[in-house]
Amino acid sequence: MKNILIIEDETSIAELERDYLEINGYQVDMEHSGDEGLKKALTGNYDLIILDLMLPKVDGFEICRKIRDKHDIPILMVSAKKEEIDKIRGLGLGADDYIIKPFSPGELVARVKAHLSRYDRLLGSRAPQTEEIRIRGLLIDKSSRRVFVNNQEVTFTTREFDLLTFLASNPNRVFSKDQLFEHIWGYDSVGDIATVTVHIHKLRDKIEQDPSNPQYIDTIWGAGYRFKI
């Protein structure tokens, strides 16, 4: 469940926002003063903050700036102030959206969903890509370009490693010899697609327990090769 903090000095508005958000499955906390809202925003574990601009003790601009210095989460600034300069200032301080009062609770919920979804996608794109491929007794460490078969390191040439990594990174897909040659060697390289067959045999000799009955690299007659998992 996503946690949302509402910092809004008008209790009736904050409660209406809370009710609509809770109906849509969000956990909601509320604060009605700027100083307490800022304290909770900096110390709490929130996925999104709805921030009023005009607040007692500390205004929304200052709160937005201090939150953004510490947290990278969506901030939706809401205000009755319609002047473009206020909107520009709020967005410039790091707010992700600026909503002018009055607005419908349904619109607020829609914007909350959109920003949370966008943020989740952004986090996904930032996630480090795995540098290891583990399939049964085979371990391919892409960062160090090392391969282990049943915990024993096996040496590969550059082309052999690239071909093995490409196949293992695309399991259960069939690639023709032409596709593999183009991807690993490139059509401008010296040689022909027969080298693909030679390298497949070399890979099997190095990773298969029984190369004549491979458990990793299948030959799909008339089509090409497949790395099976």
pLDDT, tens digit, 9 for 90 and up, residues 80-127: 888 888 888 888 888 889 999 888 999 999 999 999 988 887 776 555
- List pLDDT tens digits, range 58-70: 999 999 999 988 8
Which domains are present in the chain? 3-123 (3.40.50.2300), 132-227 (1.10.10.10)
Starting at the edge strand found earlier in the chain, the sheet holding 217-220 runs: 174-175, 224-227, 217-220
Give dist(CA 126, CA 148) in Å, integer.
Answer: 28
Bridge partners for 218 per DSSP:
226
Dump strand ranges (E) for the chain. 3-7, 27-31, 48-52, 75-79, 97-100, 132-135, 138-141, 146-149, 152-154, 174-175, 217-220, 224-227
User: Which of the two residues, 16 and 70, has the higher pLDDT score?
Assistant: 16
pLDDT of residue 84: 82
Could you count the other beta carbons within 10 Å of the beta carbon of residue 80?
12
Token code pair at residue 222: 């008339």
Other C-beta atoms lying within 10 Å of the C-beta of residue 97: 18
> What's the CA gap between 8 and 108, in Å, rounded?
14
Cβ(55)–Cβ(30) under 8 Å? no
- C-alpha to C-alpha distance for 96 and 8, rounded to whole angstroms: 17
The pairing of beta strand 75-79 with beta strand 224-227: unpaired
Q: How far apart are CA 162 and CA 185, in angstroms?
A: 10
Residue 189's pLDDT band, with cuts at 50, 70 and 90, is very low
**In the chain, % of residues over pLDDT 70:** 94
CA distances from 47 to 59, 191, 216 (A): 21, 55, 43
With cut-offs at 50, 70 and 90, classify the pLDDT of residue 74: very high
Query: Which residue pairs from 189-193 have beta carbons closer than 8 angstroms and sit at least 24 positions apart in sequence?
Result: none
pLDDT of residue 65: 92
pLDDT > 90 in the chain, percent: 66
